[in-house]
Amino acid sequence: KVQHEKIAEIMESDMVAFRRIIRFIAWLNPAFESAKIILKAWQNEMLKELDFHNEADNIRTVRRNLRKAGMISDGDRDYADTTYQGSQVVVPRVVEEFVGRTVFCMSFVQGFKITDLEQMTLFGVDR
């Protein structure tokens, strides 16, 4: 995954425009004053999304939590075995050497869309 070259500038421009719109709406109708607080929280989260280190951390956290919940087997450490060694779910492995602020790499996992009912049936997915 490679971040688009100008995405940070585009997002900042959009955020400035959105702040102006919210300020204007709140000026017209004070009931919308709380929207400024919501916008600030959203902006903070969106800025985190620009740093792919954050995405790598999130994948590691999901993997750790699913292992604790018993959804990923202890034998499934790095997906060297394509059977996933008893795991109920598959979370791609972060390729640590290729994680940066604007670049993020993880292992490829062959799969299918959750909307592919034929594949869901074929693999015995409980719906």
Q: What is the pLDDT of residues 10-30, one digit of tens each?
A: 999 999 999 999 999 999 999
pTM comes to 0.68
Whole-number pLDDT of residue 124:
81
Q: What is the pLDDT of residues 65-107, one digit of tens each?
A: 988 888 877 655 554 444 455 567 778 889 999 999 999 999 8
Q: What is the pLDDT of residues 25-50, one digit of tens each?
A: 999 999 999 999 999 999 989 888 89
Q: How far apart are CA 7 and CA 20, in angstroms?
A: 20
Closest alpha carbon to 2 in 102, 88, 107, 79: 102
12: which 2 tokens? 């900042």
Angle at alpha carbon of residue 69, lines to 65 and 72, rounded to 5°:
80
